[in-house]
Structure 1
Amino acid sequence: MSAKCPCLRRSAQHLALGSILTLSLLAWCNPARAYRPFDGTDAAVAAKGEMEIELQPAGRLRDERGTTLIAPATVINYGLTEDWEAVLEGQAQTPLSPMGPTSLTAAGAFLKHVLVPGSLQNKTGPSIATEFGVLLPDSTGSSGVGASLAAIISQRWDWGTIHLNAETALTRDQHGDVFVGAILEGPSTWTVRPVAEVFYENEFGKEQTISGLVGLIYRVRDNLSFDVAIRHALTNAHPVNEIRAGLTFGFPLSFFEGHATQREASPILPR
């Protein structure tokens, strides 16, 4: 095909626009408050009209069944109002040893609501929130639909922040489940802050897990953070070891709306 073909010109323009938008997401964003690399969460929501994305490009998990690649793992948060957000999450798992097919797991759709604004909202006292929603079936196996309901309490001091999580659920396998955990962070003003998490989970009639995680969060700027952590757990007395690394960023959807409006208002020039 000729290099002057209009189709190729349009493809090149679309590629360039996509590259510009991708770079803009990292350069022009509102502060992101979604939390990696934890299993629990915090008592805060995304600002109204803001999208927050937690992304783990690749992680490694090893348990009694072998080694599994977690790639990618994604959580998408969207601020509906000042105190409500919608959450979508899921991850792809690929068994490496022994080899196996890739499957979509840990998918869910949730709503999160700040019941009592507190220190995470620049007010006094603890922040209190709830999160509830639907656990979606895995892409393989015979799992069904589940549901969960969680309570979150967060308190920030000059020396650090604590987030307490308590959750009850009906799992995808139709078992009752309880989860209690605590997240501890270093001072929020530090560029690199140490973090830790411990939790206990009991999926009745199936398995019990005691887990501990330590890691670091590197805040490049208010709108972009990177994280790395290692987790060790015992599930039914069998060791589980995991390496997690990823990033968190956010952006206002008005950014795209503004570009769309500008494009519609621009005159169409002859070629």
Structure 2
Amino acid sequence: MKIVVCIKQVPDTTDVKINKETNTLIREGVKSIINPFDMYAIEEGLRLREKYGGTVTVISMGPPQVTESLKEAVSLGVDDVILLSDRVFAGADTLATSYTLAKGIEKIGGVDLILCGKQAIDGDTAQVGPGIAEHLDIPHVTYVKEITDVTDKIIRVKRMIEGGYEEIEMDLPALLTVVKEINEPRLPSIRGILRSREMEVPIWTAQDLDVDEDKIGLNGSPTQVVSITTPKFEAKTQIFTGKVEEQVQNLFNALREQRIL
């Protein structure tokens, strides 16, 4: 079974800050991590390989620094990693990103299953996974909580929905986006860490892929982020004094005035 896992390097959300003058993210000095939901996709790929055999390849698109995240994937036990990196990929929205990743997967060739996290924590669009499937013209299921069976031709999964789950069967090749309920990601192994230090991450540029230049980067992005703002929050406090009965009554009156009660 040939499995490809798509990951994204994102800023650690605990460290994200906004430049108030430019309304843009401050990335300097901010730690980057593998998108947390993608860690579950990597783990599920490894579990499927252990159960059914085959290989797991992790692919990502981004600047050269993404090699750090790809090497982390190697330390977890994946077979191969590939970085799609080129200046012409910069500024890509979800449409251009999914197109570029699809072209990378086409170049890998012979892929049976593609796994993605349900969404990236820096955008929360949940569009890239389904977009890849559409570009490749293969079936896909989102919010998968369990893979129940896999054969040479079909895959059966349980998909989370409000109040329960759906059981779905579809043909391979296919794409799944997974949720955190699907597994518990493993820790890197000593052997994996040593292998990751020695590995040279292959980098594919636009010239290595059969891409339409009008569909990548800014040229292929119909949506663009104009500005980013932080919500304004003003905390107000009111202290009630006196006897307990008076405090309770004053609180009650204040809540009624605010139409909370």
Does TM-score exceed 0.5, indicating one fold?
no
Between 1 and 2, higher relative CO (CA 8 Å, sep ≥ 6) is seen in 2
**Larger Rg: 1 or 2?**
2
Q: TM-score, normalised by structure 1?
A: 0.26
Structure in which a larger fraction of residues adopt helix? 2
Structure in which a larger fraction of residues adopt strand? 1
